[in-house]
Amino acid sequence: MYHHVKKLMYTVRVGDPDPRFGKMLLEQFGGANGELAAAMQYSIQGLNCDDPARKDMLMDIGTEELSHLEVIGTLARMHLAPLKNLKNKEAAYADPLIAICGGGGVSLNNSQGNPWTADYLKITGELDVDLRNNIAAEGRAKIVYERLIDFTDDSQSKEALQFLMTREITHMKVFSMALESLGKGKFEVGKIPPSEEWVNKYFNDSTGEGELGKDATGPWNTGGDWEKVDNPAFKGLGGK
């Protein structure tokens, strides 16, 4: 069950409200890598999880993300507040949709005004795959926060965003360790093993020598188990 506590997880203050920045903050409110998406992704994964220990962790983080939603929503609303006054034309022009339809409040849209959608969520019902998704989701959220921090000069806004950004790295750590604790191999997904015949072949699908450029090599295609197959399209590897 959920219980609402009447204070924020992190106290939010804004020195200088900037409606354009408020609109950018909506990316973390109703956007693809935002807090609602995170809260729903982890909570729904938690509902699907049969392992009680990891279910508890998913529900804990899902719940914390709801608290982040409250923090980012409060911060965005403070920046959007000048849009409440339609006589403040310069502010209202920053976003007519928020000013006229939303009365200067937040709604579940991203920074471009596109509505939030459950299509943002990655829920497979396979715990290790979901945890990999979550690690990537936290990385995306972290980088969006970092860009938002770089975009504002308001030191108090920066502080709140720094807190939210930091917690995403904490979550990344939790999900990584939960994945590790499953004891699966690095490339072990599901139950059916991959075919030996194909799994270690790197298809070099570009002709890139001489005037056409140069093929790159690295640990992703050279050494170890790798077998490099040049120009597979011309080697009869396809079906009949």
For Mn ion, the binding residues (CB under 5 A) are: 35, 65, 68, 168, 171
Q: How far is the CB of 45 from Mn ion (least distance, A)?
A: 13
Q: Which one, 77 or 171, has the nearer CB to Mn ion? A: 171
Instruction: Report how far apart the first and last C-alpha atoms of the chain are (Å, whole number).
Output: 57
Query: Which of 19/34 has CB closer to Mn ion?
Result: 34
- Which amino acid would we find at residue 166? T
Tally the C-alpha atoms within 13 A of residue 207's C-alpha that lie toward its C-beta. Answer: 6
Query: Which residue, 18 or 168, has its beta carbon nearer to Mn ion?
Result: 168
Question: Minimal distance in Å, beta carbon 65 to Mn ion?
Answer: 5
Whole-number minimum distance, CB 100 to Mn ion, in Å?
30
Q: Is 24 helix (H, G, I), strand (E, B) or coil?
A: helix
Q: How far is the CB of 98 from Mn ion (least distance, A)?
A: 22
Residue 184 and residue 178 in contact, taking contact as beta carbons nearer than 8 Å: no
Nearest one of 65, 98, 68 to 84, comparing CA atoms: 98
* Shortest distance in whole angstroms from residue 101 CB to Mn ion: 27
**What is the CA 14 to chain-centroid distance, rounded?**
25
Burial letters for 82-95: b for 16+ Cβ neighbours within 10 Å, e otherwise? bbbeeebeebbebb
Neighbours of 22 (CB within 10 A): 28
By C-alpha distance, which of 67, 42, 64 is closest to 54?
42
Residue 31 C-beta: closest distance to Mn ion, Å = 12
- Helical H runs in the chain? 19-25, 27-30, 35-48, 52-80, 89-94, 96, 127-151, 155-181, 196-199
Question: Least distance to Mn ion from the beta carbon of 139, Å?
Answer: 10
3-state secondary structure of 194: coil
In angstroms, the CA 88 to CA 177 distance is 50
